[in-house]
A and B are shown apart, each in its own frame.
Chain A
């Protein structure tokens, strides 16, 4: 209920923040705090120093830049929900933002935090995998871009180095004929997913030209469903195709049994959600509203 003691800094500039992260042992970034603070209250996480980046307002934006959607890491989830650009062209992202935690938590929770935490139960990892996003990270003296496929390396482990902070997420602008959807089963609003599937695809006529599928909370590390993708490429969204893709996704994931469900149930939810999410993404690609 009450966290342990820690040192706290609220740097006013990016340079200050990076210097702190570089020089202070055990310094951890505090962004929205909606995952970190609960863990600290249970003393499951006990960082010695928090670096609060809330003053780095330049890190909160949602803008189209060339052929990518650029999202600042400090963008709050509600800002995704309110963005006309996201509503117009990134339905997978909008679907996802709507089901992260609850609406009050979304006023503080950040996109960057949701990814950097590398929690397989979080929603954005699957969605960014489906988008093939690029992540931009900075540390003192260096900036680099990380492909999303290389970002999640272990349970609660991202490929961010010590002293490195996520600053931007870039989603390639979907080409014409694209559609996406995120479907999540949760025991109640605000819960983590029993299972969720993120789909981003492009069609040509009735054929799925390309597709990426991300899965939520059914692997120890956020992962794509590559066998399911392979079962869909070049095919139409016919029932037998969707069923094959669903079965492939169910087989290639690795859910754990817990209070949200037994392994067989979770796998079957992946199968069902894969079919439904692909069908919805397909319909959106063909121009159906919602």
Chain B
């Protein structure tokens, strides 16, 4: 129960980037509304939970429409092969099988066998000449029942002529095996991208006192939300209307893409994202299965359901990472970082289909100077085709920020160790200082606000860092291997300002439409789409904060493109920075109109009014007041002459900048010298996501994100053999941590609001997935450094550690 409420000041209005923003840091969650209103800062129980805890969620496979039929997919057993013949006769002869669709069929239907990717490349929907990845969709079968479709795909006979696969991008760059011979230029090199100043960087390196260099590889991983992808496409021939239920994190963008690709008029396409069982980026790309499902419905004129099974999901869906990084970090004689140089190969798979904003083929990777003040940096990335599924940013990565942070935090630790300095002290010495914000990085980023020292010191205090270092020395003397790893990351989220950010040309604003009913309840619709982030609660809390309407009275909706305002969806932690801002701005437009109505009702001038939580009061006579509910009623029954009725507003928010959440994580490990097993003894995570909407939900996001950081750090890896066959195609071998492997995360926070965001919030969902892996890797290397170990690529398996131990003479 809150007794003392903070002042409700609108701390922030949208300020253009560049305005001075030295923002004070607190560890205080601001609460300005009483419990019954439940605005920002309240630990509100989630409004969406009742249906989920009773098994009444409506996920894609729960959607059942009359006359619905089922689609299943025949997939390639080869990573690279010519298709000589597809014989579907036995399948078609099976009772219950309605149709088989091949690449030839799609070509005849209007060149639908190829589709554009988000990076303006092209990708096969269904192949005609050849396949280019293991498990690629070859043709689809539609049948009256799911089980019949499953039988039917076994009966399709495909004759292949296997070709040499190329799974290593360095091999691919030799251009001996060309992946995309559909292109004019016969090369596997897709694009080259650079950021920063190469001359200044080289100069800084030339005069540096210490340079460390390291190759760092982040392998392919798969986001593996517990629900796979799926669609129910429902084409009504009589109306010319396509209704699509789809596991989509970005339904409007998908609708526009479908319209452009299919030629169906956009107003006759409705995409409904129902409840989604986890997205994390895996439900942003348009997969061939979706297109085939929609085409099947168009052709058959009845609902077609496609639900991929887990094997298909793991083997063919968008992956993340697969970055081969070579990094060099230089410091002066005082151990101050002066420059960073990074060369990276991005293994894109068989198409450039990563869901990045269009001008960013390497996503936001150039954030990789991280939390450190340095004068120069140069980053170069080359994208390469290989015979593997396309994709790249589907795993809670903020558009390649996981890669960037992993690299710089490993390099910072290597440099600190090389210099013989304590890694915490090294970071404290090199951090960007609070008075340097807004900070212009050498690769062109303008960080909005931060207090890196504050977060690290807090984490050090929580874990009793100095005592741990003492303990480490004592244990080392006894031959026990204990490690402490730090990760002090800067994240960059909230894509993004229209001048730089677009998806296939569509600017990355987002939207809120709020309508207040006569009885003082509200409807709020958004262009984002939660897949578990709690928007039905958090957006309601923002509206409650702004208007004093109890959050319980604000019904939040997302996901139906017929009713929701246009938005770019939810991924890369963008919802709070964009749609959350739109919610505040729309609410303020409503408040402005409400003030006019209140002035009219109270017969005073607007200047005589002040706002107090949920009402306008006459200054000096607060007993003369009108609550927001009274105003809402009046908006329909007693509004001033000449004013339109109603109390609603829409805002399309174009963020002036991205936001920069940050944090410091400290991980303590103990290593079993017999087995190489690494036990995480403690993990402290201090996060700063600016102003907090709902601390309970923020904790949940952080804990979940930490486990999705642990997983790639120690368990997950998509493994291909030399023929491009996926060896980790089920959960039996693609390993996700359980409650036993996942530690008891310890959370702390600092609060450094964003100066340009209307409610000072920054977004948080991906920070922990970004920050955790290097903390773990740094801890393990820290435990082994004295033996001569310099680096270990994730996933850090017991076998890898065992091999290092034995190589350095440590055994049991």
Contact = CB atoms under 8 A, between A and B. Distances in A.
B675 A191 contact: no
A259 B675 contact: no
A43 B154 contact: yes
Main secondary structure of the interface of B (DSSP, over half): loop
Contact of A272 (B309, B719, B733, B812): B812
Main secondary structure of the interface of A (DSSP, over half): loop
B254 to A, nearest CB: 26
B802 interface: yes
B675 A269 contact: yes
Nearest to A246: B812
Interface string B721-744: 000000110001101111011000
A209 interface: no
Contacts of A1: 150, 309-311
Contacts of B736: 188
B170 interface: no
Nearest to B737: A188
Contacts of A190: 738
A241 to B, nearest CB: 15
A261 B732 CA distance: 15
B13 interface: no
A133 to B, nearest CB: 28
Nearest to B806: A268
Most chain B CB neighbours (cut-off 10 Å) among A4, A262, A268, A269: A268
B395 interface: no
Nearest to B148: A2
Contacts of A187: 715, 735, 797-798
Question: In the complex, which range does the number of interface residues on chain B fall in?
Answer: 20 to 34
Given A1-B150, A2-B147, A268-B802, A259 B733 contact: yes
Given A1-B309, A189-B738, A272 B146 contact: no
Nearest to B797: A187
Nearest to B738: A189
Contact of B727 (A191, A259, A275): A259
A189 B740 contact: yes
A191 B733 CA distance: 8
Interface in A138-164: none
Interface string A169-200: 00000000000000001011111001000000
A276 interface: yes
A268 B736 CA distance: 25
A4 B151 contact: yes
A259 B728 contact: yes
A61 interface: no
Interface in B304-333: 309-311
A259 B812 CA distance: 24
Contacts of A4: 151
B803 interface: yes
A268 B311 CA distance: 33
A2 B141 CA distance: 15
Contacts of B154: 43
B799 interface: yes
Contacts of A262: 799
Interface string B287-311: 0000000000000000000000111
Contact of B799 (A189, A261, A272): A261
Interface string A238-278: 00000000000000000000010110010011001001100
Nearest to B717: A259
B674 A272 contact: yes
A2 B150 contact: yes
Contacts of B797: 187
Contacts, number: 49
Contact of B735 (A102, A185, A191, A268): A191
A259 B734 CA distance: 10
Contacts of B675: 185, 269, 272
A277 to B, nearest CB: 12
Interface in B784-812: 797-799, 802-803, 806, 812
A2 B733 CA distance: 20
Contacts of A269: 675
Most chain A CB neighbours (cut-off 10 Å) among B154, B733, B797, B799: B799
A183 to B, nearest CB: 10
A186 B732 CA distance: 12
Contacts of B802: 265, 268
Contacts of B677: 185
B57 to A, nearest CB: 21
Nearest to B307: A1
Given A1-B150, A4-B151, A188 B733 contact: no
Contacts of A189: 738, 740-741
A188 B741 contact: yes
Nearest to B739: A189
Interface in B114-166: 146-147, 150-151, 154
Most chain B CB neighbours (cut-off 10 Å) among A102, A191, A265: A265
A214 B151 CA distance: 42
A276 B803 CA distance: 20
Contact of A265 (B310, B728, B803): B803
A265 B806 CA distance: 10
A275 B738 CA distance: 28
A1 B741 CA distance: 27
Nearest to B811: A268
A240 B452 CA distance: 52
A71 B806 CA distance: 43
A259 B311 CA distance: 17
Interface string A11-50: 0000000000000000000000000000000010000000
Most chain B CB neighbours (cut-off 10 Å) among A2, A102, A190, A276: A2
A104 to B, nearest CB: 11
A265 B797 CA distance: 12
Contacts of A276: 674
Contacts of B741: 188-189
A191 B727 CA distance: 16
Contacts of A265: 799, 802-803
Contact of B798 (A43, A102, A185, A259): A185
Nearest to A187: B735
Nearest to B802: A265
Interface in B277-291: none
B810 to A, nearest CB: 12
Contacts of A259: 719, 727-728, 733
B192 to A, nearest CB: 35
A188 B715 contact: yes
A136 B316 CA distance: 47
B489 to A, nearest CB: 26
B726 to A, nearest CB: 12
Contacts of A272: 674-675, 812
Most chain B CB neighbours (cut-off 10 Å) among A4, A185, A187: A187
Contacts of A261: 799
B222 to A, nearest CB: 15
A102 B803 CA distance: 29
A272 B741 CA distance: 22
Given A1-B311, A187-B798, 13 more contacts: A1-B150, A1-B309, A1-B310, A4-B151, A43-B154, A102-B738, A185-B677, A188-B737, A259-B728, A259-B733, A261-B799, A262-B799, A265-B803
In the complex, the 9 A-B pairs of residues with the closest C-beta atoms, listed nearest first: A2-B150, A1-B309, A272-B674, A189-B740, A265-B799, A261-B799, A189-B738, A2-B147, A188-B735
28 contacts: A1-B150, A1-B311, A2-B146, A2-B147, A2-B150, A102-B738, A185-B675, A185-B677, A185-B798, A187-B735, A187-B797, A188-B715, A188-B735, A188-B736, A188-B737, A188-B740, A188-B741, A189-B738, A191-B735, A259-B728, A259-B733, A261-B799, A262-B799, A265-B802, A265-B803, A272-B674, A272-B812, A276-B674
Interface of A: 1-2, 4, 43, 102, 185, 187-191, 194, 259, 261-262, 265, 268-269, 272, 275-276
Interface of B: 146-147, 150-151, 154, 309-311, 674-675, 677, 715, 719, 727-728, 732-733, 735-738, 740-741, 797-799, 802-803, 806, 812
